Amino acid sequence: MTLTKSPVTKTRQADLVTSDSDSVNSGFDSNASNVKRQKNPIKVKKMKFIARSSRLDSEVLNKEDNSFRGFFTFFWISLVYYVLFTCYKSYKSQGIIFSLSFFFHMTTDGLNLFTLDMMMVISCFVVVFLQKLINYGLIPLELSIIVHTVYIRDWPWVQSGFFVMHSMAMLMKQHSYLSVNREMKQKLTLKLLKEKLKFTLISELKNNSDILETTTENLKLKAEIDEKIVVLEEEIDDLMVDLKNNNTMFPANVTLFNFLDFLLIPTLVYEIEYPRTKRPFYFLEKVFAIFGSFFLLYLTAQQYILPTLEEIPKLEFIETLFQLLFPFLICWFMIFFIIFEGICNAFAELTLFADRDFYDDWWNSTSFEEFARKWNKPVHEFLLLPLIYLSKLSAVREQKLLGNVVFWFCMLLVSLLYGHCS
């Protein structure tokens, strides 16, 4: 658009409105710029981080109105009896309280596991430099793809399972970091373009306000331009809300320290800033909970699962199933408790991360779909990211198709994990 101080004819005035309309509606995303043109847009609710405790946290269970406290206390009393009985049974039959053979099996090639795991974590920082190159315009957004390759040594299932799970988590974090920053980069570019158009409209209106004839048509033209300026200001304010979180604004968040903070925070969804808290003794409580639960997990696997697995050739299928059913149930619950109530809360406390909503009341689920949503909320929220993005662009049928793709992709990851652990 060319600025001019010459008299503006009615034809030029009409071209001004048409040009501005085209700039807003076609130069930018018409779906994002003109909300009035959207007919019943389908939206997926975006997750929001707030300060809250996990459901099985002692702080929540000690509340007088918590109806789950009695059952939870009874469960742990039963597990104490279970541990004492198991240790007594092992001492009577083998002369030892518990064997360390499974411990040595778990620590096989431990130094190499630690080294490779640290190398994998360090390699994740490549995305920070990649995002810097994107911000400076040195590489296009379409080429910002990192191929993450994981090599598995001939490890036992414990080491393989840990490394594969950690690699999956780091891969999800890299994807979330790049995709969120990519979206903010696009919004920043859109904001700058809208500001440029706004100042162009203001300048054009100011330069020609003195020479415009005070006719009804000219007053209508001025009102239309003023309305466009107001709409642009509202859109710019909306973009500012997405680009700024507390005192940090994109791209100031693209730093090594910010990415390290994201790696340590127990969430797979990247945000510029998160709600924070600080309770030093709470961290020690979770550390003791991790070791206590791990001891119970170890004892169950050593005394009930491994001996049964060794006797599988001599046992019938139904007998094997009954002998492994309850021990596997205990192990699954202990693994869940260690990861989501222990490790996630411990890392959350180290990073002062206040949103502890890592799971919901999955024990009350009435369908597999509800269970899948509630038992692992970090992964569930990560898998919602493409649905949130698609909800701004596509129809319901395409969203359902993507939902099915996400579900089967999740099943593929689980199958990959089981394959490496088997």
Q: Distance between CA atoms of 15 and 12, rounded to whole angstroms? A: 5
Q: Which two tokens stand for residue 166?
A: 């950690």
The residues pairing with 244 across neighbouring beta strands, listed in sequence order, are: 249
The pLDDT score that the predictor gives to residue 44 is: 47
**Each residue of 386-395: b (16+ CB within 10 Å) or e?**
bebebbeeee
Report the b/e string of 249-276 with b at 16+ CB within 10 A: ebbebbeeebbebbbebbbbbbbbebee
d(CA 376, CA 358): 7
The band of 285, judged by pLDDT with boundaries at 50, 70 and 90, is confident
Q: Residue 372 — very low, low, confident or very high, per pLDDT cuts 50/70/90?
A: confident
144: tokens are 């910002």
Residue-wise pLDDT for 47-84, tens only, equals 666 767 777 776 666 665 666 666 677 777 877 877 88
CA distances in angstroms from 142 to 129, 135, 138, 269, listed in the order given:
16, 13, 12, 21
pLDDT of the residue at 32: 39
- Sorted by sequence, the CB contacts under 8 Å of residue 199 that are 6+ apart come out as none
Helix (H, G, I), strand (E, B) or coil at 52: strand
Token output for 420: 């490496």
Tell me the residue type at 369: E
Q: Tell me if residue 184 falls in helix, strand or coil.
A: helix
Phi and psi at residue 244, to the nearest 5°: -125, 135
**pLDDT of the residue at 253:** 81
Q: In the predicted model, is pLDDT for residue 416 greater than 80?
A: no
Q: Is the pLDDT of residue 220 over 50?
A: yes
Whole-angstrom distance between the N-terminal and C-terminal Cα of the chain?
66
Q: What percent of the chain has pLDDT over 70?
A: 59
pLDDT (mean) for 161-183: 79
- Full-prediction pTM beyond 0.75? no
**Tokens 């995303």 -> residue:** 29
pLDDT at 386: 62
Query: CB neighbours of 377 closer than 8 A, spacing ≥ 6?
Result: 357, 358, 359, 360
Highest mean pLDDT among 32-46, 110-124, 126-140: 110-124
- 255 neighbors 128 (Cβ within 8 angstroms): yes
What's the pLDDT score for residue 270? 85
Lowest-confidence pick of 165-179, 256-270, 271-285, 313-327? 271-285
Q: Report the range of poorest mean pLDDT among 5-14, 106-115, 190-199, 217-226.
A: 5-14
Q: Where are the domains of the chain?
A: 16-43+109-253
- DSSP letters, 250-277, are TTTT-SHHHHHHHHHSS-SS--S---B-
Beta bridge partner(s), residue 245: 248
Q: How far apart are CA 123 and CA 121, in angstroms?
A: 5
Per-residue model confidence as pLDDT tens digits over 317-336: 888 888 888 888 888 888 88
- Say whether pLDDT at 408 is over 60: yes
